[in-house]
Amino acid sequence: MDEARDGLPGFNRQEMLADVREAFVQLEAAVSTARPSGCRPFVGAALYEQVEGLVDELAAHGHRRVHGSFEIHDVDVIDTDTPGRVLARVHASSSIARLDRQHRIVDGSVDLKLWAQDVTASVQEPVRAQPRWIITDLGELSVEGDVTGPLHEPMDPARRQALDAERRKRQRDDDEFWSALQAVSRNFLTATGSG
């Protein structure tokens, strides 16, 4: 990609990437929950119709498509040749499965897969609102392989111990709070019952 394109008037690369990430998360959630209206503000009209059609088609068979443990790892800008339009590649991991009404897997699996999908994003400039990037087209989803280990660097052992200690302290504090609340409640009920 020509880095000079980042200098296009009004082109803020970080805002664009953040908007594309948010739009993609909302799009996946809309399909996984079978509620396409959730992605409406984040996608173009033609793509929204496709999402509605997909959800309706799956529902007609008693199915829904789910990306379990969905996580976006990166978004790469591939092309910015057209002002106000960007081609990007979303890199993510998730399980990819089609479920029936009883949440049984009909197609796919719970195994985590690394995958990528190209998206076309365009600037939407709503009246009286801040312009933002929405997804207007989806490319094919390309499975890149299985997730075979941690996707991120292992956590520093000292950091892990500190987090575990903090979690245990919160649990103790919570247990003490509920124990004290139960004691106060018993005392109150005893006092009102004997009065």
Taking only the tens place, the pLDDT of each residue in 84-93 is 899 999 999 9
pLDDT in tens, 107-154: 999 899 999 999 999 998 776 778 889 999 999 999 999 887 666 677
Helix (H, G, I), strand (E, B) or coil at 61: coil
pLDDT attached to residue 10: 61
- The sign of the CA dihedral 153, 159, 163, 168 is positive
- Which amino acid would we find at residue 37? S
28-82, pLDDT tens digit by residue? 999 999 999 999 999 999 999 999 999 999 999 999 999 888 999 999 999 987 8
Is the pTM for the entire model greater than 0.75? no
Pairing of strands 64-66, 132-146: unpaired
- In sequence order, which residues have a C-beta less than 8 Å from that of residue 138 and are 6 or more positions away? 47, 50, 117, 118, 119, 120
- What are the structure tokens assigned to 14, written together? 């970080």
Q: What angle do CA 139, 32, 63 make, to 5 degrees?
A: 100
- Residues 155-192 have pLDDT tens digits of 788 888 888 899 899 999 988 989 888 888 888 888 77
More confident residue, 113 or 13: 113
Phi-psi region of 34 (alpha: psi -120 to 50; beta: other; left: phi over 0): left
